[in-house]
Structure 1
Amino acid sequence: MTSASDSSGSSSSPGTPARLRGPAWADRNYSLLTAAAIVTSLGANGSLIAAAFAVLDAGGDGGDVGLVAAARTLPLVLFLLIGGAVADRFPRHRVMVAANALNFLSQGTFAVLVLAGEPRLWQMMLLTALGGTGQAFFSPAAEGMLMSSVSGEQAGRAFAVFRMAMQGAALGGAALGGAMVAAIGPGWVLALDAAAFVIAGTLRSFLDVGHIPPRAPGEGMLADLREGWREFTGRPWLWGIVVQFSIANAMVGAADAVYGPLVARDSLGGPGPWGLALGAFGAGTVAGALLMTRWKPRRLLFTGTLGIFPLALPSAALAVPVPVGALYAVMFVAGTTVEIFGVSWMTALHQEIPEEKLSRVSAYDWFGSLSLLPLATALAGPAEDAFGRGPALWGCAWVVVVVTAAVLLVPDVRNLTRRTVQVAASAGSPDAERSAGGLG
């Protein structure tokens, strides 16, 4: 890892005037990663709304929206583990650029089909599946690259600032996406998302991976996957929270990807208000990330997990459904508290997982967290037919509460603590570092 850990926040460039210096952890890689994440977040959050309304505009129903959403997440889940092994074996920035190129091709073709006329359901499913495949290779590489770009006591703040920038872009993307879908149609929003992948891929091509030691020749990809699995299963706090999120994400994904657009169409006034609701969630995540630039909770995962309980509120609000203003407030609160978890989680991974295994562990994290999402989105339509939309949404809310309470029964989730640079440096060994507060 190359970023300085000077807590004073001064730049590492001695010739730069003090008033122009950025924080020590904001090196070239970190700045490029942040800029690229802003660009893709702007496009991706608008395209999520655009894709749902493209299906509806083509004559589809809630079940069709769920099938298209599932078509994206299914290959994402299937290829994540391979993506993690590839990202730990090859230069991560090249994996990221290749994935961005695939996303550009799939999203650009989707846009052309929508603009040209009525796209077929199977075409939309195929193209979103290609996008999910690209994301499967991108996500582990991106997370490993970010974590290897920061170090020391300021790592938590660096993650918070990164996530604040990304979530701020998500806020703008969701709000603008909803408005643009209503004004110019979903096809043009999808086209803008494709262009965003070109810009982001160009930025990521300039990343420097010289600070990452080259991997020694191994026994092959299966051996790499087994090694990552041992790292993953050997930490109860890690697999416990991933199991929790595999269920919670499925519930939230079904509510946001399927039920949300339907409630918006029937009760909230269409894509514009729904885009603003997603934007309110994004505003909450920005507020939560801003809070975490200053707040350093000692019990990382206990504090973060408490922030997941309010994630049940949006599903409950859609079940009523509450007025638009109340929905905005609920989404803001949920976004704020879930971001407390997000920063705490990244800090825990950065603190506990060896650098050379970051992408593989990240892949198992993503795989577990998303494994049930395709099934949940595909079954959301049938569940609405069987039980009604309101009961289905209430079920989503209660499941989030139950699984979050259950993961707090894992001792390591309650007890994993933040490790300080000073203690870790003086300890000098992994065992001594763990005794300083980590549970790794």
Structure 2
Amino acid sequence: MHLPAALRHRDYRLLVSASATSALGNAITPIALAFAVLDLGGSATELGLVVAAFALTEVVTSLFGGVLGDRVSRKLMLEGSALGSALTQVVIAAALIGGWATIPMLGVIGALNGCLSALSNPSSRAMTRLTVPPGDLGSAVSLRALLQTSAATVGFVAGGLLVATVGPGWAIAVDAATYAVAALCFAALRVAHSVPDGERGSMLADLGDGAREVFAHRWLWLLIGQALICHLVWSGAQGVLGPIVIGDAFGREAWGLAMGTLMAGFVVGGLLCLRWRPRRLLRVGTVLLSMTALFPLAMALSDHLWPVLAGAFLHGFGLQVFDVFWDLSIQQNVDPDKLARVYSFDAAGSFVARPLGLALAGPIALAVGLHAWLAVVAAVMGATALAALFSGEVRRLERRTTLSATAPAASPSPEPAAAR
């Protein structure tokens, strides 16, 4: 059996090892944090505010992270963020295990974690094309997504089990260990980061260049706007209402199982993307994106666990296929010198409304009913995805077999797996 071509490259192997390890820990922490707040006597509103603290600082910092990712060493950005995140997670774990944690403390440290995540995320996503030649980029994007979601699948299931058996503190300690492993992998990278020749402008000027690149592609800003609306409603459904509705109805382990099933859908979608290469990739991806509405719809309407798990699986499947095709569209059509900034606008634009959604999910759900609000969430998610297909650019954007001259990828020399 032949390994995917992208795995022939040493730096790519290190990059995906780090990202997959982090994904494992990052899947555990949201489950652990949710039940840590509830165990401390927190309400749905307080849980939403704690999660919103992370999301708000992540959004605010992401544009800054994108500028730095195009100015300084992306490798350095990734190392520093992973080490900082390891330390903050150790503090949270120690506080929960030692019994001196408070809800405000979790919110403050969560905000710091949001900053660290935002500083590294644009660099991490832009790094893929620096570790493989252009011909292997499609395989690299699909395989990285598959490995990350496979690791997260294990993490979600492990998160529910760890919380139920040893408690949230020890679960978050596992996340701290995964960040330490990721930092070691990033430190071993041998990827040079080149910057454009000539004098650089101010950071605001760099942000303006990134914004112009985003608005030069209608499909790009349109789908970022769709994600903004979607995350406004879905963030609270997943981060606040889901653990409460599913936890109360079926037990805490059931929410971890639902998240694991969602990630299993991601894995199946990722496996499909390794082989399936539709010509009009965004049209196909956006149609499947509408399937994400099935998870909140099942939580709203079903009294049984299996429809919830089925909805979670289809949610993950559709979102993964869309994400792979979305990421590949950006990698193939955006100027590489602006890639980190475009990814930062993608993150900021997509998630700017997430803190508001997290903070308001509890009060709105209490006012209208948890199940009624989940039904509204499902309707918004499905309708906005299908509405994006009215754009001709979304329907007609085609997969490239080679990158355009304006968007060259790095071309590292292929290296056998056992070469070094």
Q: TM-score band (shorter)?
A: over 0.9
Cα deviation for residue 89 of structure 1 reads 0.2
Matched, 1:51 2:33: yes
Cα deviation for residue 24 of structure 1 reads 5.1
Partner of residue 6, structure 1: none
Deviation track 1:274-303 (CA, whole Å, cap 9, x = no partner) reads: 101100011110100100000001111111
CA distance in 2, matches of 1:153, 1:296: 14
Partner of residue 265, structure 1: 247
Deviation track 1:407-434 (CA, whole Å, cap 9, x = no partner) reads: 112211111011222xx6xxx7559xxx
RMSD of Structure 2 on Structure 1 (CA): 1.7
Cα deviation for residue 158 of structure 1 reads 1.7
Cα deviation for residue 84 of structure 1 reads 0.2
Cα deviation for residue 273 of structure 1 reads 1.1
Cα deviation for residue 212 of structure 1 reads 3.8
CA distance in 2, matches of 1:340, 1:20: 23
Q: Which amino acid letter does the alignment assign opposite residue 295 of structure 1?
A: W
Cα deviation for residue 147 of structure 1 reads 2.9
Partner of residue 361, structure 1: 342
**1:409-420 aligned within 5 A:** 409-420=390-401
Contact map agreement 2:247 2:254 (CA 8 A) in 1: no
Q: Which amino acid letter does the alignment assign opposite residue 190 of structure 2?
A: D
CA distance in 2, matches of 1:154, 1:74: 35
Contact map agreement 1:148 1:355 (CA 8 A) in 2: no
1:228 aligned residue (181, 190, 210): 210
The 1:236/1:180 distance shift into structure 2, 3 A limit, reads same
2:328 aligned residue (338, 341, 347): 347
CA distance in 1, matches of 2:2, 2:390: 48
Matched, 1:294 2:257: no
CA distance in 2, matches of 1:337, 1:215: 41
Deviation track 1:157-187 (CA, whole Å, cap 9, x = no partner) reads: 2211111111000000000110110000000
Matched, 1:371 2:335: no
The structure with higher relative contact order (CA 8 Å, sep 6+) is 2
The DSSP-based 3-state class of the residue aligned with 1:154 is helix
CA distance in 2, matches of 1:161, 1:210: 22
Partner of residue 308, structure 2: 327
Percent sequence identity over aligned pairs:
35
Matched, 1:28 2:10: yes
Matched, 1:99 2:60: no
Partner of residue 434, structure 1: none
Contact map agreement 1:304 1:340 (CA 8 A) in 2: yes
Matched, 1:248 2:244: no
Q: What residue ranges of structure 1 are gaps of 5+ in the alignment? A: 1-18, 432-440
Contact map agreement 2:234 2:357 (CA 8 A) in 1: no
User: After TM superposition, where is structure 1 displaced by more than 6 Å over at least 4 residues in a row?
Assistant: 19-22
The 1:67/1:415 distance shift into structure 2, 3 A limit, reads same
Partner of residue 109, structure 2: 127
CA distance in 2, matches of 1:237, 1:22: 29
Per the normalisation by structure 1, the TM-score is 0.89
**1:26-425 aligned within 5 A:** 26-117=8-99, 119-210=101-192, 212=194, 216-270=198-252, 272-421=253-402
Cα deviation for residue 378 of structure 1 reads 0.3
Cα deviation for residue 320 of structure 1 reads 2.0
Q: Which amino acid letter does the alignment assign opposite residue 183 of structure 1?
A: T
The 1:266/1:408 distance shift into structure 2, 3 A limit, reads same
Contact map agreement 1:102 1:130 (CA 8 A) in 2: no
CA distance in 2, matches of 1:22, 1:315: 35
Deviation track 1:124-145 (CA, whole Å, cap 9, x = no partner) reads: 1001000000011011010111
The 1:226/1:164 distance shift into structure 2, 3 A limit, reads same
Q: How many residues align?
A: 407
Per the normalisation by structure 2, the TM-score is 0.93
The DSSP-based 3-state class of the residue aligned with 1:307 is helix
The 1:298/1:322 distance shift into structure 2, 3 A limit, reads farther
Contact map agreement 2:48 2:361 (CA 8 A) in 1: yes
CA distance in 2, matches of 1:220, 1:160: 35
Contact map agreement 1:25 1:151 (CA 8 A) in 2: no
Cα deviation for residue 360 of structure 1 reads 0.4
Contact map agreement 2:74 2:193 (CA 8 A) in 1: no
The DSSP-based 3-state class of the residue aligned with 1:60 is coil
CA distance in 2, matches of 1:380, 1:420: 43
Deviation track 1:343-367 (CA, whole Å, cap 9, x = no partner) reads: 1011101110111111000000000
Deviates more, 1:402-411 or 1:301-310: 402-411
Cα deviation for residue 118 of structure 1 reads 5.1
Deviation track 1:23-46 (CA, whole Å, cap 9, x = no partner) reads: 256411110111011111111101
